[in-house]
Chains A and B, each alone.
Chain A
C-alpha cells in the first residue's frame, strides 16, 4: 500500500512522540526532534511495509514531509 503524506506525518509524529497535528508538512523535522536513528528506523519500516526505495541521504538531506512525499511515492 503506497504511503500518503498524512501517513508519513502520523509515522513521524509517532517516532517523535508528538501529536500529528503538531508536525508541519513543510517544516524542518530536525527542529521537532528528528535524528538519524529515528529516520533510519522510519525508513526501514517504510521499505518493509511500503516498498520504498529512497536512501537515507535522500531523506536526511531535506528533512521535511513535503520534500519526502515524491521520494516516498506519496506525491
Chain B
C-alpha cells in the first residue's frame, strides 16, 4: 500500500496547498456567472451542491478514503481555489490538495438515531459558506451509521461542479474503490484536464457561432416577455431553499415513458410540457417562458471533465386550453431542439444582453431540471443509492427530476425560494403538479388540454362546493313590495330626512303612490323604463319609489353628467318618460316625453288615490337600469331584476340588521349602484333615510356635520373617500355611526386601520360586486387589528363565486384566476346589447345532465374581468383586472371608452388612455393623442361629453406613439404629463446621502448625468459594476449595503432611503453640525444653512472640494431636539460661532453661506474676529445684507411652502396649505417626507422666522474680503446687489455672476463653477 502512505505523508489537514507550483486559469463564462452570484452575497451557502449516497453493505473505509484521495488527485476542478485579481477572477489549480479525513463513525445505539445525526451533520456542513479564495471547494465524508450502512456525502461548490460532474465523480470513485478493494490497480482515469474546458470556451467565444448565438437570443427575446411567477412576484435568490420531495410512482413513470415514446418525445420533454401547462394556468398567461437547464456536453471534451458546464436556457411556449397536450409536447420537442442549437451562449449573458438583470426583471419562470445521469454504480458489489441534498441556488422555483434508475420511479424535488414560497405552498404546487402529470399520462393526449384541471380533486371540491354553500330560502318578493308592507306597519315612523324636510312612512308612501299612478298614465308599468333626473332630494326618493310602484324599472340620470351623455342614455334606453325637476335639465334631442315635477299641478297628482297602484309585477321584472362605462366607447345599460336586488337586500338585513332606531345616509349618486341599497334598504326595515344635500358627498367636513347632526348610524364610502373623510378631525366625532360599508375599489389596509383608530366602535365591512350582480356579491368584516391586504370576502346568499383559469377550471386556493359569478343576483344582461350580454354572461359550454367533474355546475355565469384568488379559509382576495378597465374613485372607467372619445375629436389621428401613478397613491387618467389637435381643446371637449371620472386629468399631444419591438403600443414608454410650471429635466438629489450616491453611480457607471430616480441597471449596470459600486459606497459613506440591496433599491434615492432606514443616527442629518466630509488636513469649511435651516444642499459642494477639504454644514437648532426657534439672527450667529469653535478651537476660519446663511456667515465671521481669531475666507452665495430687505414685506407661510417643496426638488403646483405640501412630499417619495411631519412643520416655521429676523438684523464690519456669487438671471427683486456688502467689509467684494436663478445656484454647471472658484481660492490660501 505504498500509495496510501504517500497520501498520508502530505501536508497538515486544513486545505493549504502543499506544492509551490500552481497554475492559474481564467474562469469560464459559466464559472464567472457563479462567481458573481457568490460575490453578490459572499456569506451565502446557496451554491453548495451536495449528494448523499447510501451504501448498504460491506465497505472498507480505509480503501474508500484512498479511492477518494485518488479521485481528488485526478480531478482538476476539486483542486482549485478562486483568486480575485485586478484582471478578474482566476482559478488557481494546485497540484495537490489535502482534505480532512473523510470517515466518521456515528454509530451510537440504533441506525435511525445515527442517520438523524448524520443528516444534521450534513445539513450543518451545507449551511457553511465556502471560502472561494481559500478552498478547498469540496468536502467528502463517509458517515458510518450502522455496521453495514454508510452515508457517503459529497459536497462541491457549484462554481466548479454541476450535476453531471457529480455523477462522473461518483462513477470514477466507485471504479477506483472496486479495483483497490480487489487488490488491482485501477484503470487509468479518463478525466481530461480543466484547461481543456477553458480552451474550448475560448475557442467558442471568438467564433462566429458565438456571435450567431448572441444574435439569436437577442432577437428571440427582443420583446422581453415577463417571466411567469407562480408566487405572483419576484425575489432575490435566498441563501437557503425549501424543498419538497416526492416520487412519481413506478407505474406512472412507466406510463410517462410510454407516452413519451408514442409522442416521439422524451420523458423530460413531457415534464416540461406539464410544467408549462401548470404554470400557464396558475399564472393566467397564454405564453410562458420556462428555464431549461442543459447538460451542455454533447460533442464536447466536457463529457470527460468533471466541472461546471451546465447552462440554463429560456424556452418559450404557447399554452392554449383548446390545443391538445400532444400539440404542446410537440412544441416542447421542437423548442428544445431549437434552443439546443444555441446552448453554448450563457444564460447570464442572455439576460444581460436583454437588460433583464436585477429584481423584477426575470426572464424565465420555473426551471425544469431533468437529470437522467446514470447512477447505477456499485462499490465492489455493494449497491449505492443516491439522493440529492442541494442542487444550487433557487431564484424562483426549480423542479429537479432525478432518474435514479432504482426501479422506484422518478424522484421529484421541488425547490423554492423561501422568500416566495412557504413549505406548505411548495408542497401544494408539487402535489398538484404530480397529480396533473399522473392524469396526463392516463388521458388521451389528443384531447384538449382544457380537459385537465390543475387543482387536486380535494381542492376542486373545496372551492366549488364548500366555499359556495350559500343556499338560503327567500320569498319571491320584489324590491318595492317590502317597502309598502313596512309603510303599512309603521306609518308614523320617520322615513326620510332631508334638511328641514321630514316625511313619515305614510307621507312618503302617499306621495309616491299618487305619482306612481300618474306615471302609469304616462306609460309606466312592468317591463317599461322611466328615466329619473333629479338632484338628491326628497322628490328624488319619492320619484324612485313611484317608478317602482308603477311597476317600471328606473333609469337614473345623474344631473351632473354632461347633456351629451344623458342624451346617449335616453336614446339607448328609450324610456317611456323622464322625470325631472326643471325642463332644461334634459337635452331635448332625445325626444323622451318629460314629466317636470315643478310644472306638475298639485291637482293632477291629488286626483290619484294615495294607495299603491295595481301592477302585474313579478321578481323577474327589471327593477332598474344603470349605465356603466363601455369599452367600445358606448356606455351599456345593466338591467337588474327585482329578484336579484331583493335577494341582496334580504341578505344585508340578515347580516347587518337595521332597526327602527337606525338612520342610513343616502350620499351616493343614483348612477352608482351603491345608491340602490342606500335608498331602499332602510325603507324596507322601518329605519330612516337621511338624504345628504347635493354635492355634500365630496366634502368631508359637511359629511361629518350631517352624520353628527342627523345621528346617522349606517353609511357607505368609496375607500378613497373614507380615507379623505378620516383625515378630517371632525370624523372622529362621528361616534354615532354603527356600521360603515366600503366598496367600489380596493380597500387599503391602512384605511381600514385608520377607521378603526378614528372610530373604534364602528364596524367596517368591505363589500365587492359589479353592477351586473345587484350591487354586492361578497363581504368581509374588517378586524381592527387585521393585517395584509383586505379580502373582499365570502359570497352572499344564493350566490356562487368561482375563480377560474383560462380553461374555465377552478383555481386552487392561492392561485389567481378570473372571477365568475353565478346565482340569484345576476343581472338580466345589457339593454339592447345581446352580443355583449352573451359575451359577459356566459353559458355552460354544453348542457350536461350531470355536472362534469371539475367544472362549476352552472348554466349561466357573469364573467367579471376581475382577478382574484381564494384564501385557504374561503375568502376572496381581489387582485386587479384582466383587461383595461380601471376604477377611479370607485367608478368604473373603460379606457376604451375614453380612447374612443379622444379619437372622435377632429384633428386627432391616434389616441390612447392610461391610468398613471407617477406619484405613489396619486392615480390619474391621462389621454395621449397624435395629430394636429390642441390637447387642451380636446380635454375641454371631453369634459363636455363624458362624466367626470372619464375625463382625463391631462391630454398630452405626441408626435407619434412609442412602439415596442413587436410593433405594439408600449404604454410604459408614454411620458408623464407635465402639470403647471415647466418641470425639471432631472430631479435634484435631496439630502447628502442621495447627492453622494448620485455621484458614485455616475462614477462607477461612467455616465455623466445620473438622476436620483435612475435605476442602476437601466444605466448599464452589471453585477460586476454592482460589486464595485458597493465597495465605493463603503469607502465613501462608510455604509455597508449588501449588493443585494442594490437590486431591491436600484436608484440613488431608494438606496439612500434604505441606507438610512435602520441607521440609529437617522436623526444625525438634523443635528446643528452636519459633517459633510469630516476628514482632511485643511482647515474646515463651515457652510451655514439657507432659509429652510438644513445644510444638505452643500453635499454636492463638499464632494467637489476634494478629499483633503473637510466641510461641515451648520443647521438651525430644533430639528433634532425640538428646541424653540432661535431669537435674533445675532443670537443665532453667536451660537454657531460657539459650535464652530468647539470643532476648530483656533483660526483661520473659513465660512460660507447661501441666502440667509450668507448673512449668518458674515455675522459669525465678525464674532470670530471680535474674539481675536482670523477669518481668511468668507464666501457668500447670493446673500444680501439686511438693509436690502428691511423695507420689503417678509414672506408669508405660502412662500415658505414653496421653499420646502423646492428643497425636495418638487415644483409647487396646486398645493395650497401645509397639509397639501406634506402630502406632496410624501407622494414624491422625498427623503424630506421620510423625516416626518414634525421636521417638515419645523421647516415651514423656520423659513418665515428667518425672513423676519433677517429684516431686524444690524451688521457690524468684517475685516477682510468677501467672495461673492450672484444668481444673475433676471429676478423680481432687481434691487439686490453684491455691492450692498461693501459698507460691511474692509476689503474687496469679488463677485462672480452665474446665469441662473437663486434656487439653482448649487445645481448642474453652476455648482461646478462655484466649486471650482472656491477650490481655487482655497488652494491660493494654502500657499
A and B together in one complex:
yes
A38 part of interface (Cβ distance < 8 Å): yes
**Quick check: B337 and A61 within 8 Å, CB to CB?**
no
B298 part of interface (Cβ distance < 8 Å): yes
Which chain A residue lies CB-closest to B337? A33
**Quick check: A62 and B299 within 8 Å, CB to CB?**
yes
A41 part of interface (Cβ distance < 8 Å): yes
Given contact pairs A35-B266, A37-B266, A57-B190, A63 touches B341 in the complex (Cβ within 8 A)? no
Interface centre among B190, B267, B295, B298 (most CB of A within 10 A): B298
**Quick check: A60 and B298 within 8 Å, CB to CB?**
yes
Q: Hey, which chain A residues are within 8 Å of B303, CB to CB?
A: 56-57, 60-61
Instruction: Please encode chain A, from 31 to 50, with 1 for each CB lying within 8 Å of some chain B CB and 0 for all others.
Output: 10111111111000000000
Nearest-Cβ distance from residue B305 to partner chain A, whole angstroms: 10
Q: Hey, which chain A residues are within 8 Å of B299, CB to CB?
A: 28, 30, 60-63
Q: Hey, which chain A residues are within 8 Å of B340, CB to CB?
A: 30, 33, 35
Q: Please measure, in the bound complex, the distance between the C-alpha atom of A46 and the C-alpha atom of B304, giving whole angstroms.
A: 22
Q: Please measure, in the bound complex, the distance between the C-alpha atom of A41 and the C-alpha atom of B405, giving whole angstroms.
A: 12
Interface centre among B190, B266, B295, B301 (most CB of A within 10 A): B266
Q: Please measure, in the bound complex, the distance between the C-alpha atom of A33 and the C-alpha atom of B265, giving whole angstroms.
A: 11
Nearest-Cβ distance from residue B942 to partner chain A, whole angstroms: 57
> A interface, how many residues as a size bin?
20 to 34
Instruction: Please encode chain B, from 334 to 368, with 1 for each CB lying within 8 Å of some chain A CB and 0 for all others.
Output: 00110011000000000000000000000000000
**Quick check: B264 and A17 within 8 Å, CB to CB?**
yes
Q: Please measure, in the bound complex, the distance between the C-alpha atom of A56 and the C-alpha atom of B295, giving whole angstroms.
A: 13
B383 part of interface (Cβ distance < 8 Å): no
Instruction: Please encode chain B, from 278 to 305, with 1 for each CB lying within 8 Å of some chain A CB and 0 for all others.
Output: 0000000000000000010111110110
B857 part of interface (Cβ distance < 8 Å): no
Q: Hey, which chain A residues are within 8 Å of B304, CB to CB?
A: 57, 61
Which chain B residue lies CB-closest to A33? B337
Q: Please measure, in the bound complex, the distance between the C-alpha atom of A28 and the C-alpha atom of B268, giving whole angstroms.
A: 22
Instruction: Please encode chain B, from 256 to 268, with 1 for each CB lying within 8 Å of some chain A CB and 0 for all others.
Output: 0000000010111
Nearest-Cβ distance from residue B1030 to partner chain A, whole angstroms: 39
Q: Hey, which chain B residues are within 8 Å of A62, CB to CB?
A: 299
Q: Hey, which chain B residues are within 8 Å of A39, CB to CB?
A: 298
B1175 part of interface (Cβ distance < 8 Å): no
Q: Hey, which chain A residues are within 8 Å of B1005, CB to CB?
A: none
Q: Hey, which chain B residues are within 8 Å of A38, CB to CB?
A: 266
Nearest-Cβ distance from residue B307 to partner chain A, whole angstroms: 14
**Quick check: B268 and A60 within 8 Å, CB to CB?**
no
Which residues of chain B in 321-338 are interfacial with respect to chain A, using CB atoms and an 8 Å cutoff?
A: 333, 336-337
**Quick check: A35 and B341 within 8 Å, CB to CB?**
no
Q: Please measure, in the bound complex, the distance between the C-alpha atom of A38 and the C-alpha atom of B257, giving whole angstroms.
A: 12
Which residues of chain B in 155-207 are interfacial with respect to chain A, using CB atoms and an 8 Å cutoff?
A: 190
**Quick check: B267 and A37 within 8 Å, CB to CB?**
yes
Q: Please measure, in the bound complex, the distance between the C-alpha atom of A62 and the C-alpha atom of B300, giving whole angstroms.
A: 8
Q: Hey, which chain A residues are within 8 Å of B268, CB to CB?
A: 37
Q: Please measure, in the bound complex, the distance between the C-alpha atom of A42 and the C-alpha atom of B134, giving whole angstroms.
A: 43
Q: Hey, which chain B residues are within 8 Å of A60, CB to CB?
A: 297-299, 303
**Quick check: B298 and A63 within 8 Å, CB to CB?**
yes
From B190, B264, B301, B372, A36 is in contact (CB under 8 Å) with B372
Nearest-Cβ distance from residue B171 to partner chain A, whole angstroms: 9
**Quick check: A30 and B267 within 8 Å, CB to CB?**
no
Which residues of chain A in 4-47 are interfacial with respect to chain B, using CB atoms and an 8 Å cutoff?
A: 16-17, 28, 30-31, 33-41
B-side interface residues, number (CB < 8 Å): 21
**Quick check: A36 and B337 within 8 Å, CB to CB?**
no
Nearest-Cβ distance from residue A39 to partner chain B, whole angstroms: 8
Q: Please measure, in the bound complex, the distance between the C-alpha atom of A39 and the C-alpha atom of B297, giving whole angstroms.
A: 12
Interface residues of chain A: helix, strand, loop or mixed (majority): helix
**Quick check: A34 and B264 within 8 Å, CB to CB?**
no
Q: Please measure, in the bound complex, the distance between the C-alpha atom of A13 and the C-alpha atom of B786, giving whole angstroms.
A: 63
Q: Hey, which chain B residues are within 8 Å of A28, CB to CB?
A: 299
B1320 part of interface (Cβ distance < 8 Å): no
Q: Hey, which chain A residues are within 8 Å of B1003, CB to CB?
A: none
Q: Hey, which chain B residues are within 8 Å of A17, CB to CB?
A: 264, 333
**Quick check: A36 and B298 within 8 Å, CB to CB?**
yes
Q: Hey, which chain B residues are within 8 Å of A33, CB to CB?
A: 333, 337, 340
Given contact pairs A17-B264, A30-B340, A40 touches B370 in the complex (Cβ within 8 A)? no
Q: Hey, which chain B residues are within 8 Å of A30, CB to CB?
A: 298-299, 340
B1299 part of interface (Cβ distance < 8 Å): no
Q: Hey, which chain A residues are within 8 Å of B372, CB to CB?
A: 36-37, 40
Q: Please measure, in the bound complex, the distance between the C-alpha atom of A56 and the C-alpha atom of B301, giving whole angstroms.
A: 13
Nearest-Cβ distance from residue A31 to partner chain B, whole angstroms: 7
Interface centre among A17, A28, A56, A61 (most CB of B within 10 A): A61
B1135 part of interface (Cβ distance < 8 Å): no
Nearest-Cβ distance from residue B165 to partner chain A, whole angstroms: 12
Nearest-Cβ distance from residue A61 to partner chain B, whole angstroms: 5
Q: Hey, which chain A residues are within 8 Å of B1199, CB to CB?
A: none
Nearest-Cβ distance from residue A36 to partner chain B, whole angstroms: 5
Which residues of chain B in 15-64 are interfacial with respect to chain A, using CB atoms and an 8 Å cutoff?
A: none
Interface centre among B267, B299, B337 (most CB of A within 10 A): B299
Which chain A residue lies CB-closest to B304? A57
Nearest-Cβ distance from residue A41 to partner chain B, whole angstroms: 7
**Quick check: B336 and A35 within 8 Å, CB to CB?**
yes
Q: Please measure, in the bound complex, the distance between the C-alpha atom of A51 and the C-alpha atom of B800, giving whole angstroms.
A: 64
Q: Please measure, in the bound complex, the distance between the C-alpha atom of A53 and the C-alpha atom of B337, giving whole angstroms.
A: 28
Q: Hey, which chain A residues are within 8 Å of B341, CB to CB?
A: 31
Q: Please measure, in the bound complex, the distance between the C-alpha atom of A34 and the C-alpha atom of B372, giving whole angstroms.
A: 15
Q: Hey, which chain A residues are within 8 Å of B370, CB to CB?
A: 37
Q: Hey, which chain B residues are within 8 Å of A41, CB to CB?
A: 266
B374 part of interface (Cβ distance < 8 Å): yes
Q: Please measure, in the bound complex, the distance between the C-alpha atom of A41 and the C-alpha atom of B340, giving whole angstroms.
A: 18
Q: Hey, which chain A residues are within 8 Å of B267, CB to CB?
A: 37
Q: Hey, which chain A residues are within 8 Å of B336, CB to CB?
A: 35
Nearest-Cβ distance from residue A55 to partner chain B, whole angstroms: 9
Q: Hey, which chain A residues are within 8 Å of B374, CB to CB?
A: 40, 56
Q: Please measure, in the bound complex, the distance between the C-alpha atom of A16 and the C-alpha atom of B265, giving whole angstroms.
A: 8
Q: Please measure, in the bound complex, the distance between the C-alpha atom of A37 and the C-alpha atom of B337, giving whole angstroms.
A: 12
Q: Please measure, in the bound complex, the distance between the C-alpha atom of A37 and the C-alpha atom of B340, giving whole angstroms.
A: 13
Q: Hey, which chain A residues are within 8 Å of B337, CB to CB?
A: 33
Given contact pairs A61-B303, A61-B304, A34 touches B298 in the complex (Cβ within 8 A)? yes
Which chain B residue lies CB-closest to A58? B303
Instruction: Please encode chain A, from 50 to 75, with 1 for each CB lying within 8 Å of some chain B CB and 0 for all others.
Output: 00000011001111000000000000
Nearest-Cβ distance from residue A25 to partner chain B, whole angstroms: 16
Nearest-Cβ distance from residue B727 to partner chain A, whole angstroms: 63
From A16, A31, A36, B297 is in contact (CB under 8 Å) with A36
Q: Please measure, in the bound complex, the distance between the C-alpha atom of A74 and the C-alpha atom of B856, giving whole angstroms.
A: 60
Q: Hey, which chain B residues are within 8 Å of A57, CB to CB?
A: 190, 303-304
Q: Please measure, in the bound complex, the distance between the C-alpha atom of A63 and the C-alpha atom of B298, giving whole angstroms.
A: 8
Given contact pairs A56-B374, A61-B304, A35 touches B190 in the complex (Cβ within 8 A)? no
Which residues of chain B in 244-272 are interfacial with respect to chain A, using CB atoms and an 8 Å cutoff?
A: 264, 266-268
Q: Please measure, in the bound complex, the distance between the C-alpha atom of A36 and the C-alpha atom of B372, giving whole angstroms.
A: 8
Q: Please measure, in the bound complex, the distance between the C-alpha atom of A60 and the C-alpha atom of B168, giving whole angstroms.
A: 14
Q: Hey, which chain A residues are within 8 Å of B297, CB to CB?
A: 36, 60
Q: Please measure, in the bound complex, the distance between the C-alpha atom of A60 and the C-alpha atom of B373, giving whole angstroms.
A: 13
Q: Please measure, in the bound complex, the distance between the C-alpha atom of A13 and the C-alpha atom of B849, giving whole angstroms.
A: 48
Nearest-Cβ distance from residue B1285 to partner chain A, whole angstroms: 82
Interface centre among A16, A39, A41 (most CB of B within 10 A): A41
Q: Hey, which chain B residues are within 8 Å of A36, CB to CB?
A: 295, 297-298, 372
Instruction: Please encode chain B, from 950 to 992, with 1 for each CB lying within 8 Å of some chain A CB and 0 for all others.
Output: 0000000000000000000000000000000000000000000
25 A/B residue pairs, CB under 8 Å, sorted by A: A16-B264, A30-B340, A31-B341, A33-B333, A33-B340, A35-B298, A35-B340, A36-B298, A37-B266, A37-B267, A37-B268, A37-B370, A37-B372, A38-B266, A40-B372, A41-B266, A56-B303, A57-B190, A57-B303, A60-B297, A60-B298, A61-B303, A61-B304, A62-B299, A63-B299
Rank and list the top 5 A-B pairs by shortest CB-CB distance, nearest first.
Answer: A17-B264, A57-B303, A37-B266, A33-B337, A30-B298
Given contacts A17-B264, A57-B303, 5 further A-B contacts (CB under 8 A): A17-B333, A40-B372, A57-B190, A57-B304, A62-B299
B residues near A (Cβ < 8 Å) are 190, 264, 266-268, 295, 297-301, 303-304, 333, 336-337, 340-341, 370, 372, 374
